[in-house]
A = this chain, B = another copy of it.
């Protein structure tokens, strides 16, 4: 590591979202910052990448501060690929993604553009953290959690994140003084019960809005949902080896 770490900052809510502006505020106190973020919100994009279309990127100069900023027409994972492989002079020492407006705890990780960006960085060998605040509002108060974002990032740089692991950090919607501390957790077993809101457009055609109800069927006190509910920040070490090792022997018994 150089004296000053080189930090790639990205998100999925777009380069003008208050969440990424708060994250940039913290990171410019830690190291040299390059921002590569979607030009418009990309929530729910999962680990999408742009392969049948092209990408455009623009240097953004109107935000002030010492950081270098690029907007990108693609997804969060595209931003990371473009940042690491094309826009940055050298491989960053760490990639931070967020701060997301809304939760990426438990099963939400799978739909998360914020976490897909962090995971993409880790796949490419860059230590990475995704940060999310349990407040969906555009004007959510990120000042409450800046000190924790800084602490976690500094400790991750100092100790090193294990290879193949990405940190999924979620913050409860509380004042700084009300936050009880930080818990290292596992992903709770949860799911969404889908409820499609069926409507008719002015042309008489049927269309749907996706809505849903969040179900937590996991009572574990070692889960992220439990920690967040009790006022703690949750950190889930997350991996991109999706193999269900325990199931290998069971399926080997099948007649195939």
Contacts and interface: CB of A to CB of B under 8 A. Distances in A.
Interface string A220-251: 00000000000000011111111111111011
Contact of A195 (B55, B85, B236, B252): B85
A256 to B, nearest CB: 4
Q: How large is the interface on A (under 10, 10 to 19, 20 to 34, 35 or more residues)?
A: 35 or more
A206 interface: yes
A121 to B, nearest CB: 11
Q: What's the dominant secondary structure at chain A's contact region?
A: mixed
Given A56-B206, A238-B243, A241-B187, A46 B49 contact: yes
Contacts of A194: 81, 84-86, 124
Interface of A: 41, 43-52, 54-57, 77-78, 81-82, 84-86, 107, 109-111, 116, 119, 123-125, 151-152, 155-156, 159, 162, 164-165, 167-168, 181-182, 184-187, 189, 191, 193-196, 198-199, 205-210, 235-248, 250-256
10 contacts: A43-B52, A44-B49, A54-B209, A85-B195, A110-B240, A159-B253, A164-B244, A165-B244, A186-B248, A238-B244
